[in-house]
Structure 1
């Protein structure tokens, strides 16, 4: 694809208008996702759970719910997503719910719940939030069902806002979840002003979404993208035109491609434990990164959008993000590449080996 160069002054005007400094959005059909087939249909049929969630109440108890064709489901609380034995907490119908009262389980770093149907494969679910008070948008991206009936594994990839103020106890909580890699999407000023506070042993990597180290290049006319983004923001009634501008530029700006490719490659190759990636608020650059990853894994668009909007709840701000911003990034993907698969291959330049590694690592039947 031909890229366009513009003057440094023009680039600065575009970026500082609220473009790449405030980023992210979501995506469409998964890169390289297998077409509907007998194999995919068989897999979907073999997975007994079509929905499952775990929610922690303010008092420390949990409410578990699920939908399944099984006759009954037995639930065991475990402290690791890979554990097969733990504390039995009850049995309920194939489609049902179960309450775990406060005080039933000890205060562990994090509880996972293993749902075991009377026929079919078990499924592990967990409350998404790790309860990191200094980083309220720190949450698991696992636990989502894909279009072919598989599930994104919990406990392997987290998204967050800045983590410069982690307490000692919060650091230990992250270590208890086997966190070994932190990927920072922020720019140089943000990293200098609020450096990450990490537990010893956690590797730190920068994937700066607005870095100019790869030149001042865009895939399409920056001025045209700017004008179209402003018009679309006004039409949608966006409360923040800077964000309406920023999301399409997350796709159009060549430097962002490198950052997102580095992030996804890091997730795919981190074999020593879990990965967290973050920006400042954990909603824009982090939001688009999450949307790209979940879409690549085959998570349906409506679920990706729901995860994006969840930042409003975690941050306690109903206007932290708007769906039109995310959709503007997806629209830019379609405009520049025609579809999401081509964006992954030609924009992010992820090879088939990395895409396969991500799916093999993060998906389970």
Structure 2
């Protein structure tokens, strides 16, 4: 049965893919806890009402996964908000970083696997920030569209919490629905710049995150094994699960 991801969407005007990761059922009959983690898209169009909503949630940490070039073009409106610790952990993706050389992967799943393998220090930093701030309020993490980099962090959190694969995949694929207008705008903009982009790069196709999940399990035994490779201690992982699952 298809899970209703839309009910996790936050009622914001200036962001269209900001979602609550709480409320998902786990394999052992429990649920992820609301108010712990939010996944999101770009924060440079947030209205004052949006910011007030997030402060009242209360968001205490905002981890921005975008590159320096993206930050320059679209600074986050959360960077100087009182009571929110804003941290940038640059996690380049194929579409948006200055490192992009015009060579597209055969599949986005391949790109995700490559990102997992080459960005362990960065993923470790993200989860260190989570464990440092999660007991004080809500941790928000986001990139540009809330699809690739954000999708992988969300996958790691939900897999660690023992959420069923079908829901993890639907959580990822929902971006294609919530960000359809943005995807069309991106394609039009790139075409105007004379850049030919395979449509698959802008889609959130289920097989992409399925490939990342399969790699995670085969190589590391799951998110716990992977995050230990990223430098996160067992006690901190236990604490995160205790905090995130009820």
Task: Report TM bin, short chain.
Answer: 0.7 to 0.9
Once the two structures are superposed, the pairs formed by residues 103-252 of structure 1 within 5 Å of their partners are 127-198=7-78, 199-210=81-92, 230=106, 233=107, 243-252=108-117
Contact (CA 8 Å) 1:252, 1:332: kept in 2 or not? no
* 2:160 corresponds to 1:296: yes
Match runs of 1:64-79 below 5 Å: none
1:263 corresponds in structure 2 to 126
Aligned length: 213
Partners of 1:363 and 1:268 lie apart in 2 by 14
Summarize deviations over 1:234-275 as a string: whole Å, max 9, x none. Answer: xxxxxxxxx34421211221xx11221121222222122111
Structure 2, unaligned runs of 5 or more: 94-102, 184-201
Instruction: Give the 5 Å matches for 1:45-64.
Output: none
Paired with 2:221 and 2:46, the residues of 1 have a C-alpha distance of 42
Instruction: Give CA-to-partner distance per residue, 1:123-169, whole Å, 9 cap, x none.
Output: xxxx4222112110011011011111111111221000010121111
Q: 2:203 aligns with which of 308, 320, 323?
A: 320
Rg larger for? 1
* Counterpart for residue 309 of structure 1: 173
More strand by share: 1
- Measured against aligned partners, the alpha-carbon deviations of 1:60-103 in whole angstroms (never above 9, x if no partner) come to xxxxxxxxxxxxxxxxxxxxxxxxxxxxxxxxxxxxxxxxxxxx
Aligned to 1:362: 244
Give SS of 1:152's match: coil
Write out per-residue CA displacement over residues 197-247 of structure 1, whole angstroms, 9 at most, x where no aligned residue.
023221111221239xxxxxxxxxxxxxx99x63xx3xxxxxxxxx34421
Q: Distance between the aligned counterparts of 1:172 and 1:337, measured in 2?
A: 40
Per-residue deviation, 1:358: 0.6
CA distance in 2, matches of 1:207, 1:262: 7
Deviations 1:265-303 (CA, angstroms, capped at 9, x unpaired): 222221221111001000110001100111001111111
Partner Cα separation in structure 1 for residue 203 and residue 16 of structure 2: 13
**Alignment partner of 1:351 is 2:226:** no
Kept after mapping to 1: 8 A contact 2:55/2:83: no
* Shift in alpha-carbon separation, 1:53–1:327, aligned structure 2, 3 A: closer
Distance 1:197 1:308 in 2: 25
1:179 CA displacement: 1.1
Q: Flag the structure with higher helix content.
A: 2
SS of structure 1 residue aligned to 2:180? coil
Contact 1:185 1:259 in 2 (8 A): no
How far apart, in 1, do the equivalents of 2:109 and 2:222 lie? 21
**Unmatched 5+ residue regions in structure 1?**
1-51, 56-126, 212-225, 234-242
Aligned to 2:214: 331
Q: Give the SS at the match of 1:151.
A: coil
TM-score, normalised relative to structure 2: 0.78
Moved more, 325-334 or 287-296: 325-334
TM-score normalised per structure 1: 0.54
Query: Following superposition of structure 1 onto structure 2, how do residues 81-92 of structure 1 map, counting pairs within 5 Å?
Result: none
- In structure 2, what is the equivalent of residue 95 of structure 1? none
Give the distance between the partners of 1:54 and 1:246, measured in 2 at CA. 25
* Kept in 1: contact 2:19–2:38 (CA 8 A): yes
